[in-house]
Amino acid sequence: MERCNEIETCRFFEATMKEMPTVAEMMTQRYCHGDFNSCARKIVFHALGEGHVPVNLAPNDDQRAREIINAKS
């Protein structure tokens, strides 16, 4: 199974999901080992660079990803 190239450096799950392991596992399966090109974190990473991805940006927060990218454009 394919997985996201950024999985080793992504800090979201370690920093924000420690108290919700079931939800973290579901999100990991969907975004890190599945449809990782739709991950909001990956979208910001590729548009602006790693330094512009907030630690608390959830993989499913498309709206916030667009706002971050638009603010820097």
Q: pLDDT tens, 13-64?
A: 888 998 999 999 999 999 999 998 999 999 999 999 999 999 999 999 999 9
- Count: domains in the chain: 1
Q: What is the pLDDT of residue 1?
A: 63
Report yes or no on 6 lying in a domain. Answer: no
Q: Using alpha carbons, select from 61, 65, 67, 2 the residue that is nearest to residue 29.
A: 2
Report yes or no on 57 lying in a domain. Answer: yes
- CA–CA separation, 69 vs 60, rounded Å? 15
Report yes or no on 32 lying in a domain. Answer: yes
Q: What is the pLDDT of residue 22?
A: 95
The mean pLDDT of 5-18, rounded to a whole number, is 89
Report yes or no on 37 lying in a domain. Answer: yes
Report yes or no on 60 lying in a domain. Answer: yes
Report yes or no on 5 lying in a domain. Answer: no
Cα four-point dihedral sign 65, 13, 7, 54: positive
Say which residue the tokens 């910001």 belong to. Answer: 44
Report yes or no on 3 lying in a domain. Answer: no
| pTM of the entire predicted model | 0.90
Domain residue limits at 49: 12-72
Q: Across 3-7, 39-43, 69-73, which has the greatest mean pLDDT?
A: 39-43
Report yes or no on 38 lying in a domain. Answer: yes
